[in-house]
Amino acid sequence: MNRKKLIAGNHKMYTTLAEGIQLAKDVHNLLKSKAEQVDILIIPPFTHLFAVSGILKNTPFFTGAQNCSSEKEGAYTGEISASMIHSAGASFVLVGHSERRNYFNETEEQLHQKIKQALNAGLQVIFCFGEPLEIREAGGYKTYILNQLHTLKGFSGEEWNAITLAYEPVWAIGTGKNADKEQAQEVHAFCRQWISENISAETAQNTRILYGGSVKPENAADLLSMPDIDGALVGGASLQASSFAAIVNASLV
Ligand code: PEP
C-alpha cells in the first residue's frame, strides 16, 4: 500500500496575523514544486484561518484548525464550530492534541463528539494521542494508547476515509526529545493492527498514521523511513519556513 505522506505544521498559539500570512506564503514558495509528491498542511491559529486558506486556495496545500467545538452550534461563547472552520476554507482539524487534553481537560467523550462534528461538517480529522512519560517508563503505554483509540470506535469505514491518526508521545512534544524510529514504529504498527481488528484490514492499510514530537530536519528522514510512519505533525520546527521545508524534503528521500 502506497500511502501518500502528510506533513503538517501546527503553529499553536504563535504568530501575529501578518506573521502567519508571511509564514504560509514562504512555505508555499519553498515547497510548491513538492506538493504533488507529499500532502502539505498548515495549521495556523483560528484568527488566521480565513486569510491563510485564501492564500492557499487553488494550490495543492491544505489548511487546518487546531481544535473545534464538540457542539454543533449554540450559545457557547468563545467556542468555534467545525462548520465555521469549514466555511473559513479549512479542510482539516486536529482533535485531541495533548495540550488540549492536559491544559483544557478534554475527555475521550468530548473528543468523540468533536470528531463527529468535524466529520459531519466535511472536515478531515487528525486524531492525536500518546502516553505521558510516567506511563512510558512504567511500561504500560500500549494499554494507555488502547484506551485512547477506543475514542475512535463507532465510526464507519466510510468515515474512516476522513480520519488520520497522529501518535504524539507527550514526553516528546516541545521537549526536543523525540521517540526513536523503533519506538515510534512499534506504536504505529500496533495502531494499524488495532484498526485492522476493529474497523477493517482495508481501512488499516489506507489510514495514515503520523508521528509528532520534536520532529526536526535532523531526525525527520530517519523517522519517515519507517514502514508505518506516514508523515509528521510538526510543532516548533514548523514556525520557520526553512526548517518546515527541510522536513518536507526529508519525507521525499
Ligand atoms: C505538536 O505540537 O504537535 C508537536 C509535535 O510539537 P513539537 O514538534 O514542538 O514537539
**Residue at 10 is within a domain:** yes
Q: How far is the CA of 74 from the centre of ligand 1 (A)?
A: 32
* CB of 64 closer than 6 angstroms to any ligand 1 atom: no
- Residue % of the chain over a pLDDT of 90: 97
Q: Which residue has the cell 508521528?
A: 211
Triad 64, 69, 71: Cα angle to 5°: 135
Q: How far is the CA of 236 from the centre of ligand 1 (A)?
A: 6
Task: Pinpoint the alpha helices (H) of 35-180.
Answer: 49-56, 82-87, 98-103, 108-120, 133-138, 141-149, 157-160
**Residue at 53 is within a domain:** yes
**Segment holding 244, helix H or strand E:** helix 241-250
Catalytic residue among 97, 106, 112, 131: 97
Active site residue 97: yes
CATH number at residue 216: 3.20.20.70
**Segment holding 19, helix H or strand E:** helix 17-31
**Residue at 240 is within a domain:** no
* CB of 173 closer than 6 angstroms to any ligand 1 atom: yes
Q: Mind listing the pLDDT tens digit of every residue in the chain (253 residues)?
A: 689 999 999 999 999 999 999 999 999 999 999 999 999 999 999 999 999 999 999 999 999 999 999 999 999 999 999 999 999 999 999 999 999 999 999 999 999 999 999 999 999 999 999 999 999 999 999 999 999 999 999 999 999 999 999 999 999 998 888 899 999 999 999 999 999 999 999 999 999 999 999 999 999 999 999 999 999 999 999 999 999 999 999 999 7
**Residue at 72 is within a domain:** no
**Residue at 121 is within a domain:** yes
Tally of structural domains, the chain: 1
Q: Please give the Cα distance from 129 to 126 (Å, whole number).
A: 10
Backbone angles phi, psi at 43, to 5 degrees: -120, 85
What is the structure's pLDDT at 48?
Answer: 98
* CB of 10 closer than 6 angstroms to any ligand 1 atom: yes
What is the C-alpha end-to-end distance of the chain, expressed in Å? 18
Q: Which amino acid is at 90?
A: A
Please state the atom number of ligand 1 nearest to the C-alpha of residue 173: 10
Range of the domain at 130: 6-66+78-225+245-250
What is the structure's pLDDT at 115?
Answer: 98
* CB of 9 closer than 6 angstroms to any ligand 1 atom: no
